[in-house]
Structure 1
Amino acid sequence: MLNDVNWGALVAQSLRRPAQAAQVVLSWDLPRDALWTAMALVTLCNAVLMYVTNIVTPPLPPELAAQAIPFPAWMFSPLTAFVFLAGSLVVTVHVLHWLSSMLGGPGGLNEMLALLTWLQALRAVAQFVLLFLLIAVPGLAGLFALAVAVMSLWLLVVFVNEASGLQSKFKAVGVLLTAAVGIIVGLSFLITLTGFAAIGV
């Protein structure tokens, strides 16, 4: 089934008509283990691209390490980026599913997992384009990054609405805001427990 997918057309559809693209992704009805595997692979791609982007753009890791509050070198490794991204995505998928279910959304965990994985795949494509612009046309990189940030927020709202079945973008925004507050509070507590606060993180 996936062999017949026109990936370029699906990417374009995701940007122009994200709700329809979301329904295409959901129609694949992939098993959960395949979805988790896909999310891991997409997260790995994002982590590597983030690492390469950090290498070619200032401030470089050695410069950060030399600051008044030094950051340990391991914080800039691809493995750290992967663990952070993967952990954040796993928590985000479950929190968004739980909150949307509390509001009566009939969508399941698989639907939320599938669409957030597709969103991360789109972000990987955008990160690759951004990396190219940083090297070839640095002046356009900032504008492109801003456009990606805005588009990512819109796609997130649409995808959460489609995955949850809430049929209300306002409810989807409410779910996202509530999830963001909860995740930020949870991360702050975790940072305090792990001692990162002591080094200024």
Structure 2
Amino acid sequence: MTFDFQTWMRAVWTSIMEPSDSARKVIDMNIPRDALWMGLALVAVVNVILVVLLQMISPAPVAFQEQGFALSPFGFVAIIGVFLALFVFGVFYAGKIMGGQGSLQGTLAIIVWFQSISLTLEAIQVVLVLISPAIGSIFGLLSLGALIWCFVNFINVLHGFKNLGKAMVAIVLALIGTALISGIVLAVLGVGPTGGMA
């Protein structure tokens, strides 16, 4: 089986246009858990690279920069890595609370694949910003809408819900729980917006 850029982009496009079918295929692949955790770590690192690139080509307003939000790359990796890892458990347990049937391994597979889609769109946005910041911004907004639609459907399939409303509630619960616990964990690790991890 050949795997090239066109194949990858076709898979990303299919996931956005047919998210439910794509979610089922990802879960049915039964990728080993160790490989999935490695994949999660990889997307965290790539995420940091793209964030840094976007900052370089589209710097934040001076007022925002003065608030001390500068972080080292290690700080970014720590924040994104901790958040993603906790978000996996957040989505899993939030779904269980809502009566979902998803497994932890299935949740991990869904999160890794969703992040892969998100990073692909983010990479496209970086290229578009270089061509035209306005076009890049519009693409970013469209991507956000597509990603929300995609993820809600992913979680709906993962937990076997019968409607998207339940999936949205599970996602909100997961986000709230993950944000709270991440804040505590990062505070213990000494990672924050005013300097981060050196």
For structure 1, which segment, 162-171 or 152-161, has the greater mean C-alpha deviation from structure 2 after superposition?
162-171
> What 5-or-longer segments of structure 2 have no aligned partner?
none
Q: Is the aligned partner of 1:83 residue 2:78?
A: yes
Alpha-carbon distance between aligned partners in 2 of 1:2 and 1:28, rounded to the nearest angstrom: 17
Q: Is the 1:133–1:140 contact (alpha carbons within 8 Å) kept by the matching residues of 2? A: yes
Match of 1:114 in 2: 109
- Greater relative contact order (CA < 8 Å, ≥ 6 in sequence): 2
Aligned-pair CA distance for 1:149: 1.2
1:12 maps to what in 2? Answer: 13
1:143-176, CA deviations, whole angstroms, 9 ceiling, x for partnerless residues? 1111111111111111111122223211111111
TM-score under structure 1 length normalisation: 0.83
Q: Does 1:48 align with 2:43?
A: no
Find the aligned partners of 1:35 and 1:2 in 2 and give their Cα distance.
21
Structure 1 unaligned spans of 5+: none
1:6 deviates by: 3.6
AA at the equivalent of 2:28: S
Indicate the RMSD between aligned Cα atoms, in angstroms: 2.9
Contact 1:161 1:172 in 2 (8 A): yes
Could you tell me whether the CA contact under 8 Å between 1:116 and 1:159 is conserved in 2?
no
1:110 deviates by 0.7
Q: What is the TM-score with the length of structure 2 in the denominator?
A: 0.84
CA distance in 2, matches of 1:33, 1:49: 25
Supply the AA of the counterpart residue of 1:137. S
Cα distance in 1 between the residues matched to 2:191 and 2:15: 41
Query: Within 1, Cα distance between the matches of 2:82 and 2:92?
Result: 16
| Structure 1 residue matching 2:161: 3-state secondary structure | coil
- Looking at structure 2, the residues matched to 3 and 70 of structure 1 have their Cα atoms a distance apart, in angstroms, of 42
Q: Are the aligned partners of 2:92 and 2:104 in contact in 1 as well (CA < 8 Å)?
A: yes
Aligned in 2, Cα 1:81/1:113: closer, same or farther, shift over 3 Å? Answer: same
Match of 2:167 in 1: 172
Whether contact under 8 Å (2:94, 2:170) holds in the other structure is yes
Tell me the equivalent position of 2:58.
57
Kept in 1: contact 2:152–2:164 (CA 8 A): yes
Residues in 1 aligned to 2:38 and 2:61: alpha-carbon distance in whole angstroms? 31
- Percent of residue pairs bearing the same amino acid type: 25
Mapped to 2, the partners of 1:182 and 1:138 lie a distance apart of: 34
AA aligned to 1:132 is V
How many aligned positions are there?
193
CA distance in 2, matches of 1:195, 1:46: 17
Aligned to 1:133: 128
Give the SS at the match of 1:13. helix
- For residue 122 of structure 2, what is the amino acid of its counterpart? Q
Q: Which residue of 2 aligns with 1:31?
A: 32
Indicate conservation of the 8 Å contact 1:111/1:164, yes or no. Answer: no
CA contact (8 A) 2:152 2:168 kept: yes
Q: Is 1:54–1:60's contact at 8 Å kept on the other side of the alignment?
A: no
Structure-2 change in CA distance of 1:192 and 1:117 (3 Å) = closer
Taking a change above 3 Å as real, the CA distance of residues 60 and 2 of structure 1, as seen in their structure-2 partners, is farther
**Would the alpha carbon gap of residues 140 and 96 (structure 1) be closer, same or farther in structure 2, given more than 3 Å must change?**
same
Partner of 1:125, secondary structure, is: helix
Match for 2:33: what amino acid?
R
Cα contact 1:133–1:141 (8 A) shared by 2: yes
| TM superposition shift of 1:2 | 9.0
